[in-house]
Structure 1
Amino acid sequence: MLPISRRSLLHGMAGAGALPLLGLGGARAAAAAVGDDPAPRWVGAEPFAYVYDPSDSGGPRYLNDHTLVHARGRWHLFSIVGRSAPRGEAPDSAAEVSFAHASAPSVRGPWTSHADALTVDPSYFGEEHLWAPHVVEADGRFWMFYAAGGEGGAAINLATSDDLFTWTREPSGPLFRGRAARDPMVLRVGTEWVMYYTEVSDAGGHHVVAYRRSADLLRWSEPGVAFADASTDATVSVTESPCVVRRDGWYYLFVGPRGGYEGTDVLASRDPFRFELSGYAGHVPGHAVEVTADGGTWYASAAGWFRNGLYVAPLVWRDDPAPWQSPDNPVAGLDALGRLTVFALDAADRSMLRRVQLDPYGDGWSEWERFGGPAGAVPTLGRDADGRLEVFSLAPGGVNLHRRVQRPDGGWHDWEEFGGPAGAAPAVARDAAGRLEVFALSPGGGSVARRRQASPGSLTWDPWQPGFGAAAGAPPVVAANADGRLEVFALLPGGSGIAHRWQEAAAG
């Protein structure tokens, strides 16, 4: 269970109705290009690399919401920092009372730790915690905006510095307060500054990304709403860590957690004050994602309770939808000879690897070996009625799906093209008649398609059924009920709910 102290600031309001199901929430931003500006790009990321461990003599520490700022030839990191919790537990975010500080010549490192930049001060208008720092440089100074809570409720505070090492709080106190105001991010838009932050709306308690405007970084306007999510669930926030960047005439909002704790959705808009789910432009598999450019390359940085430090990945801007990205866990299943077989991606070149249990009842395993085939994502497995494994893999770049089938003697047939919508590795299950069924997300999450084996164990498959499901915010999952009927579940666009569809009869 998540700690209440951080998430409970987001209070859902009773009586708020859910939005109706959307037909194409995962579609590309609908706005047409204006003038010479190109259409919005699809956004993804290359694999994240672990670049900084903030642990000290007291033991392992984690980072969370953070900021990166380039000044005087070096990159500086400021971040929520806390003591890592035992495996399987979430830390107490109320104990997040200081900001870690490190610097490096590049966002990729190597990072050098410095003394924590700021520590909570209860005498300063009742500060209770230090969350989500964001730093900008203006008028010869550095300005750090952060969430601090305290007397009078949620507050956004300010500290300034001349050297990035010594920080002084604004004497007049918090810049403003809100219902759940936190996770500030400040961007220069035209002749003014815009602050985006996490909030809950007065009407219905929806999770929103709010904004305020300022000419001097000290006095801020009344709030507006840049993005409103359908969710009113008080225990789960889905508009955290907002980060907005401008590229080629479009603004891109990175916001999460969406599609899981370590998931960030991207929404594109020409208007920096209005983002909608119809502007869905991609997904980055990281928590508290920040976006920056270093030497002409765009990077996403990520951190979180369970990662013990900072991760960095190059951003990818694409003309076509990026394949769904998620943490690269291995996948395993029993093969035709009753042995566990594990598939994973090589960390260096993303090729597919396999390791096989040598004895079904023993502990010995083969060495890792290359399995060949396309490897745009971790594959998924199906098991035929006679025990043979079938491997389904997404081609690099999401061109299409491929499949490789095990022979009865434990060997393997060659790879073959399987077609399909190719937005993600598919979900696979065996129906009550023994036939494998595959459910696949289309590029950009526009729909879900289905394909079924012609008969149990057959190498022949029926044609794709492209209209099996409408838009989804993540790849579907499938499981069999007690009577053998298959049931498919899919996250709705933007995480507004979960849809499901089930067979009316076993094998029907």
Structure 2
Amino acid sequence: MHPISRRRLLQGSAAAGALALPGVGGSATAAPPPPHQWIGAGPFAHVYDPSTPGGQRYLNDHTLIKAADRWHLFGIVGAGAPPGRAPDSAAEVAFAHASAPDPYGPWTTHTDALTVDPAYFGEEHLWAPHVIEAGGTYWMFYAAGGRSGAAISLATSTDLFTWTRVPTGPLFRGRAARDPMVLRIAGQWVMYYTELSGQDGRHVVAFRRSDDLLHWSEPGIAFTDATTVATLSVTESPFVVERDGWYHLFIGPRNGYDGTDVFASRNPFSFGLDGYAGHVPGHAVEVVTDGQQWHASAAGWFHQGLYLAPLYWRDAPPPWQSPDNPVAGLDVDGRLTVFALDAGDRSLLRRVQLDQESDTWSSWEPFGGPAGAVPTLGRDTAGRLEVFSLAPGGAGLHHRVQRPDGGWEDWEEFGGAAGAAPAVARNADGRLEVFALGPGGTAIARRRQRSPGSPTWDAWDGGFGGPAGAPPVVAANADGRLEVFALSPGGSGIYHRWQETPDGA
């Protein structure tokens, strides 16, 4: 039989059944909680490398728990793969263990906490540990299946170093059950985990309830994604946090391997795409708090260990979080010009190619800012560059136009608010056209120049499309017609819209 891959869905036979949703406490006359907040994250810092003198190792799904005055980390660990290749998840057979006085370290590596035991009811791998404390005992829930099907298993400890599997075997099996997370809600234990629905094979987050952490109810479904078994899972690593009367579900990988979406709901047993509440650019994200500060932890196949970032709760949608890659274009003199964000204060920097043959460049120079994202570029029919920048926090857009002599006009406000730097293209008649994602992805707005090279622009058309799950992209067809592509919320499909004629509707 072929090895089981964690990224390719486990093939089992158990179907998720229906479960009536209970009330979640509170009285009918209680004042409603405030609107849900929006979640984003600051830059991730590398805080722990699990590699040993014997070789490079990576972490994947993991858990953090504080005991006494130390934090403990447990996670999938595996040997790093050659560049350009993904590791074999079927070879993930141990849980790393490390501890530190603070989540940011310094971390001390301990002996692996648990290794695979084929004699334990057909266990063939160890995935996604989650550890809680209850009644003076530490409970480690983890995914361990094989030829007998996907399974959620349990080991316990009194000191976080020595772990013993419960003798009765897995707590339950499922079609693709993995990535358990356990939370106390309304007097019961609730386990969230990754699963496939039995009816149509859609990717879901399932839940079960328990009074004693050993015996679990039949499954219910807390979240259903539009994607199906034919695609890679996008409901992995579920993590639920309650704050101010709202429950927040973190799941991924979404919008890339290093991507986690957040969905908010008043009901911890029912989340939907319409509750989108933010995005964290990390893989297998867990939420960590000491009661005062919030952090997001992340790890993954292509990273050496554990990363931490500050987690932000805001009243307004944060800007779209994308990699801070530079952007380049030809200026009015035909020279390559590169724009990048300063890693310190996120101001814009510029560097110009001085000579193509010798490949000499100017020094980096300040260009404005700070900015909320890497800028985007447009180029008019005269070859002049136009730079579009997102204000910090997505408060609005700004732009700056190159003069015919190669210099630059001052920055001007361009409008907004926007959720990301806009996509820019040139119409067949030379007019620039801009497409911007609205805050929180609620809509896509459009704006274009009155005439080629003109400093005057038409008003924003806020009803061009949306909602969207990521910033749009735009390109010109061979006949000059612009075509816009946008990801649907949740990533279930890609939509497009195109001009009927060049420069037309």
TM-score by length of structure 2 reads 0.92
How big is each residue's C-alpha offset from its partner over 1:49-97, in whole Å with a ceiling of 9 and x where there is no partner?
A: 2222222223332221111111121111111122222332222211211
Q: 1:342 aligns with which of 323, 335, 338?
A: 338
Q: 1:175 aligns with which of 165, 171, 178?
A: 171
Equivalent residue runs for 1:410-449 within 5 Å: 410-449=406-445
- Unaligned regions of 5+ residues in structure 2, if any? 14-27
Structure 1 residue 222: Cα displacement: 0.7
Equivalent position amino acid for 2:259 in 1: G
What is the CA–CA distance in structure 2 between the aligned matches of 1:165 and 1:330, rounded to whole Å?
Answer: 45
Structure 1 residue 454: Cα displacement: 1.9
How big is each residue's C-alpha offset from its partner over 1:390-425, in whole Å with a ceiling of 9 and x where there is no partner?
A: 111111111100111122333221111000241111
Q: Is the 8 A contact 1:421 1:449 kept in 2?
A: no
Equivalent position amino acid for 1:90 in 2: A
Secondary structure at 1:6's aligned position in 2?
Answer: coil
- Unaligned regions of 5+ residues in structure 1, if any? 14-31
Is 1:6 paired with 2:34?
Answer: no
How big is each residue's C-alpha offset from its partner over 1:266-303, in whole Å with a ceiling of 9 and x where there is no partner?
A: 11111111111111111111111111212500111111
Match of 1:25 in 2: none
Using a 3 Å threshold, how does the CA distance of structure 1 residues 224 and 504 change in structure 2: closer, same or farther? same
What is the CA–CA distance in structure 2 between the aligned matches of 1:396 and 1:454, rounded to whole Å?
Answer: 28
Match of 2:486 in 1: 490
Using a 3 Å threshold, how does the CA distance of structure 1 residues 480 and 192 change in structure 2: closer, same or farther? same
Structure 1 residue 348: Cα displacement: 2.2
What is the CA–CA distance in structure 2 between the aligned matches of 1:482 and 1:373, rounded to whole Å?
Answer: 36
Is 1:239 paired with 2:222?
Answer: no
Is 1:112 paired with 2:134?
Answer: no
Secondary structure at 1:252's aligned position in 2?
Answer: strand
What is the CA–CA distance in structure 2 between the aligned matches of 1:152 and 1:11, rounded to whole Å?
Answer: 10
Match of 1:359 in 2: 355
Secondary structure at 2:6's aligned position in 1?
Answer: helix
Q: 1:313 aligns with which of 309, 313, 326?
A: 309
What is the CA–CA distance in structure 1 between the aligned matches of 2:497 and 2:29, rounded to whole Å?
Answer: 37
Secondary structure at 1:186's aligned position in 2?
Answer: strand
Secondary structure at 1:7's aligned position in 2?
Answer: coil
Is 1:46 paired with 2:45?
Answer: no
Q: 1:219 aligns with which of 215, 220, 226?
A: 215
Match of 2:16 in 1: none
What is the CA–CA distance in structure 2 between the aligned matches of 1:461 and 1:53, rounded to whole Å?
Answer: 51
Structure 1 residue 335: Cα displacement: 2.0
Q: 1:132 aligns with which of 116, 123, 128?
A: 128
Match of 2:288 in 1: 292
Q: Is the 8 A contact 1:435 1:455 kept in 2?
A: yes
Q: Is the 8 A contact 1:336 1:410 kept in 2?
A: yes
**Structure number with higher relative contact order (C-alpha < 8 Å, ≥ 6 residues apart):** 1
Equivalent position amino acid for 1:427 in 2: A
Match of 1:146 in 2: 142
Equivalent position amino acid for 1:223 in 2: P
How big is each residue's C-alpha offset from its partner over 1:212-237, in whole Å with a ceiling of 9 and x where there is no partner?
A: 11111111111000111111142321
Q: Is the 8 A contact 2:4 2:10 kept in 1?
A: no
What is the CA–CA distance in structure 2 between the aligned matches of 1:411 and 1:89, rounded to whole Å?
Answer: 45
Q: Is the 8 A contact 1:380 1:428 kept in 2?
A: yes
Match of 2:404 in 1: 408
Structure 1 residue 430: Cα displacement: 1.6
What is the CA–CA distance in structure 1 between the aligned matches of 2:12 and 2:449, rounded to whole Å?
Answer: 45
What is the CA–CA distance in structure 2 between the aligned matches of 1:337 and 1:305, rounded to whole Å?
Answer: 44
Report the number of matched residues: 488
Structure 1 residue 36: Cα displacement: 5.4
Using a 3 Å threshold, how does the CA distance of structure 1 residues 159 and 323 change in structure 2: closer, same or farther? same
Equivalent position amino acid for 1:300 in 2: A
Secondary structure at 2:436's aligned position in 1?
Answer: strand
Equivalent position amino acid for 1:163 in 2: D
Is 1:469 paired with 2:471?
Answer: no
Match of 2:19 in 1: none
Structure 1 residue 322: Cα displacement: 1.2
What is the CA–CA distance in structure 2 between the aligned matches of 1:411 and 1:363, rounded to whole Å?
Answer: 21
Q: 1:101 aligns with which of 97, 101, 112?
A: 97
Equivalent position amino acid for 1:85 in 2: A
How big is each residue's C-alpha offset from its partner over 1:184-215, in whole Å with a ceiling of 9 and x where there is no partner?
A: 00111121111000000001111100001111
Secondary structure at 2:209's aligned position in 1?
Answer: strand
How big is each residue's C-alpha offset from its partner over 1:421-479, in whole Å with a ceiling of 9 and x where there is no partner?
A: 41111111122222221110111111101111222222222211111112111111112
Secondary structure at 1:231's aligned position in 2?
Answer: strand
Secondary structure at 1:173's aligned position in 2?
Answer: coil
Structure 1 residue 4: Cα displacement: 7.1
What is the CA–CA distance in structure 1 between the aligned matches of 2:227 and 2:70, rounded to whole Å?
Answer: 40
What is the CA–CA distance in structure 1 between the aligned matches of 2:289 and 2:450, rounded to whole Å?
Answer: 50
Q: Is the 8 A contact 1:127 1:150 kept in 2?
A: yes
What is the CA–CA distance in structure 1 between the aligned matches of 2:91 and 2:481, rounded to whole Å?
Answer: 47
Larger displacement relative to structure 2 (346-355 or 276-285): 346-355
What is the CA–CA distance in structure 2 between the aligned matches of 1:397 and 1:34, rounded to whole Å?
Answer: 33
Q: Is the 8 A contact 2:12 2:175 kept in 1?
A: no
What is the CA–CA distance in structure 2 between the aligned matches of 1:71 and 1:166, rounded to whole Å?
Answer: 15
Equivalent position amino acid for 2:167 in 1: P
Structure 1 residue 177: Cα displacement: 0.4
Match of 2:21 in 1: none
Structure 1 residue 362: Cα displacement: 3.0
Moved over 6 A (4+): none
What is the CA–CA distance in structure 2 between the aligned matches of 1:67 and 1:277, rounded to whole Å?
Answer: 26
What is the CA–CA distance in structure 2 between the aligned matches of 1:322 and 1:230, rounded to whole Å?
Answer: 24
How big is each residue's C-alpha offset from its partner over 1:7-38, in whole Å with a ceiling of 9 and x where there is no partner?
A: 2225699xxxxxxxxxxxxxxxxxx9961522
Q: State, as a whole percentage, how many aligned pairs show the same letter.
A: 76
What is the CA–CA distance in structure 2 between the aligned matches of 1:344 and 1:317, rounded to whole Å?
Answer: 27
Match of 1:454 in 2: 450
What is the CA–CA distance in structure 2 between the aligned matches of 1:143 and 1:386, rounded to whole Å?
Answer: 67
What is the CA–CA distance in structure 2 between the aligned matches of 1:307 and 1:408, rounded to whole Å?
Answer: 45
What is the CA–CA distance in structure 2 between the aligned matches of 1:417 and 1:348, rounded to whole Å?
Answer: 24
Q: Is the 8 A contact 1:106 1:294 kept in 2?
A: no
